[in-house]
Amino acid sequence: MTASPSATAPAVHVRGLSKTYGRVQAVRDLDLDVARGEIFAILGPNGAGKSTTIEILEGHRKRDSGRVSVLGEDPADAGRSWRARIGIVLQETSDFGVLTVSETVGMFAKCYGEQRSRVPDELLELVGLASSSGTRVRNLSGGQRRRLDVALGIIAQPELLFLDEPTTGFDPEARRQFWDLIRLLASDGTTILLTTHYLEEAAALADRVAVVAAGRVAAVDSPAQLTAHVNTAATVRWLEDGRWRVEHTDHPTEFIRQRSADGTELAQLTVTRPTLEDAYLQLIGVA
């Protein structure tokens, strides 16, 4: 049997996406490609256009212009069968305050029907909420609440899961546990597209990262390769006649060799390369 085109299409393919709110241009001529099976992060500061972009991909927001394909279909006019293939975790969570965790999951499972839905108890086990199943949603901690959001996002076993700022406000321990959950879902074959303003999160989780600033993609690469997109000159620092001397150079070894050729000792010599954080700050235009 030949797979239908939408089953083999890239997870996300975007060209020239733009969106304006009144006079604010939130997204400007943005291109994006996410492959099946990837964990892909859109990383950028507040107001960069991350939510606007992801909401357009989810079919929750209209675009002004550009081409968008998600799992082979245009989200602007895709139907129920397409919607069933994606999972969504919004930046703002909805309020199910008086229900318990298991009542909430049960209610969603019923909506999807037994055939498509995961078994609620197994789902709560998977997201680490089994011991909180009787807790009212309003009494969950922030981290537990986000796990419930993910549970609801993956209840119908989506091919592609959107997560908008999933760990904002988490303590470091909760964040690490949440990353493990995302990795687990990815290892099962779910494509993950997440937004974050934590560089550390993008670096720890994502196969590839799009750095977005002021509605544009400043760079797309693996976390390890992002530094290659900015000025990567090394900084050579040493102490001479009681004063710190600093040199920025692409060839630090050669510089040091020449500088010490006459036998001069370069006291307290250090050579540093830009870190991923330096690269990120340069890319978003703050450094």
Ligand X SMILES: Nc1ncnc2c1ncn2[C@@H]1O[C@H](COP(=O)(O)OP(=O)(O)OP(=O)(O)O)[C@@H](O)[C@H]1O
Distance from chain centroid for Cα 63 = 21
Interaction of residue 48 with ligand X, rule CB under 6 A: yes
For ligand X, the closer of residues 13 and 197 by Cβ is 197
Interaction of residue 51 with ligand X, rule CB under 6 A: yes
Kindly tell me which residue out of 7, 24, 111, 267 binds ligand X, with binding defined by CB under 6 A: 24
d(CA 130, CA 207): 30
What is the residue-wise DSSP string for 93-116? PP--TTSBHHHHHHHHHHHH-TTT
Choose one: 47-55, 68-76, 241-249, 279-287; the region binding ligand X (CB under 6 A).
47-55
CB of 9 to ligand X, least distance (A): 25
d(CA 70, CA 131): 36
Residue 20, φ and ψ in degrees, nearest 5: -120, 135
For ligand X, the closer of residues 105 and 161 by Cβ is 161
For ligand X, the closer of residues 50 and 85 by Cβ is 50
Residues that bind Mg ion (CB under 5 A): 50-51, 91
Cα 51-151-58 angle, rounded to 5 deg: 30
For residue 12, give the nearest of 217, 201, 261 by alpha carbon. Answer: 217
CB of 202 to ligand X, least distance (A): 13
For ligand X, the closer of residues 60 and 257 by Cβ is 60
Choose one: 44-52, 82-90, 180-188, 219-227; the region binding ligand X (CB under 6 A).
44-52
Distant-in-sequence, close-in-space partners of 145: CB < 8 Å, separation ≥ 6: 93, 137
The listed partner (ligand X, Mg ion, none) that binds 49, CB under 5 to 8 Å by sort, is ligand X
Residue whose tokens read 């908008």 = 164
Considering only residues 164 through 203, tell me which ones interact with ligand X, judged by CB under 6 A. Answer: 197
Specify the amino acid at residue 15: R
For Mg ion, the closer of residues 18 and 91 by Cβ is 91
For residue 219, give the nearest of 71, 73, 43 by alpha carbon. Answer: 43
Kindly tell me which residue out of 14, 17, 26, 86 binds ligand X, with binding defined by CB under 6 A: 26
Interaction of residue 46 with ligand X, rule CB under 6 A: yes
CB of 253 to Mg ion, least distance (A): 44
Question: What residues does 15 pair with on adjacent strands?
Answer: 67
The listed partner (Mg ion, ligand X, none) that binds 244, CB under 5 to 8 Å by sort, is none
Crossing angle of helices 142-154 and 172-187, rounded to 10°: 10
Q: Which residues bind ligand X (CB under 6 A)?
A: 21, 24, 26, 44, 46-52, 91, 197
